[in-house]
Amino acid sequence: MHYDHNGEGVPLVFVHGFPLNRKMWKPQLSGLSDIAQIIAPDLRGHGDSEATPGPFSMDLFAQDLDSLLNALDINEQIVLCGLSMGGYISLEFYKLFPERLAGLILTATRAAGDSSEGKAARDDAVKRAKREGVEGIVNGMLPKLLAKNTQMNKPELVSIIQDMMNSISVNTLVADLIAMKERRDSTQILGAIQIPTLIIHGADDQIIPVEEAEAMASAIPGARLKVLPDAGHLVNLEQPVLFNHNVHRFLIEQIK
Ligand code: MLT
């Protein structure tokens, strides 16, 4: 498993979304390592981590994170920040290893499982990926990933994201889609979350509507919700300064 590891202090583990890799956390690696020990892994099959044939599951990804922490000899409690699929994995990690966590940052994600339409869309995406390759999925997804403002004013960022997405293999992409389709619903556990939780969402997220973040914020006791303007699904890349500012405040006020 490949990972970036930078800084000192409370371990802050970043889990990337689909179909991305650890490079999506570049602004956090540089902007937050003065107050935390940043760990940003590539999930299995993604980025530079070894590929396994699948099937994958949110549970398996969460177990991988636990193994990585063991390998790094990190025994103190961590703050776990997951974006989208990374958020699904973070909630699964909470179910499996609650004692490992000092806090949660749920970014551009939802607690609910896939609806029946959502599951059908995953099946269509699997067929499309097998027929057209990774580019078929990337071309369909990219316009929905970013806010209009980002697409118009940050062409360099758009092409970095496009390259990152295109670097995934069809096998990993398909295994991710099936794992997300089959993931467990996490809404029932929200009311029992006893650790500080920050929820960050882009106001213009077209992949996961902001109502999902609002629903999690009202269900998790004491959760703090930040909706960032001019940001779509990749809120940490589209609004890096505001994103880092909110994480920084959360760490100072609720973790340390
Ligand atoms: C992600 O950004 O990780 C995925 O798009 C989430 C999803 O498809 O449910």
Q: Cα 129 to the chain's mean position, in Å?
A: 21
- Residue 256: its pLDDT value, please? 66
Average pLDDT over residues 83-112: 98
Average pLDDT over residues 136-158: 96
Q: What secondary structure letter does DSSP report for 181?
A: H
Yes or no: say if 40 and 22 are a contact pair by the CB < 8 Å rule: yes
Average pLDDT over residues 141-156: 96
Minimum-distance ligand 1 atom for the alpha carbon of 177: 8
In angstroms, rounded to a whole number, what is the distance separating the alpha carbons of residues 182 and 139?
Answer: 24
pLDDT at 86 exceeding the cut of 80? yes
Q: Which residues are CB-contacts of 230 (< 8 A; sequence separation ≥ 6)? A: 147, 149, 150, 203, 204, 238, 239
- Residue 183: its pLDDT value, please? 98
Average pLDDT over residues 136-161: 96
Mutate to test the pocket of ligand 1, among 207, 234, 238 (most ligand atoms within 8 A of CB): 207
Sign of CA dihedral 247, 248, 251, 254: negative
Instruction: Enter the tokens of residue 145.
Output: 């990933």
- Residue 54: its pLDDT value, please? 87
Report the share of the chain in percent with pLDDT over 90: 99
User: Which tens digits make up the pLDDT trace of 214-249?
Assistant: 999 999 999 999 999 999 999 999 999 999 999 999
Q: Which residues are CB-contacts of 150 (< 8 A; sequence separation ≥ 6)? A: 157, 158, 230, 231, 232, 234, 238
- For residue 256, the tally of other CB atoms under 10 A from its CB is 11
> Which residues have CB under 6 Å of ligand 1?
17-18, 84-85, 180, 207, 233
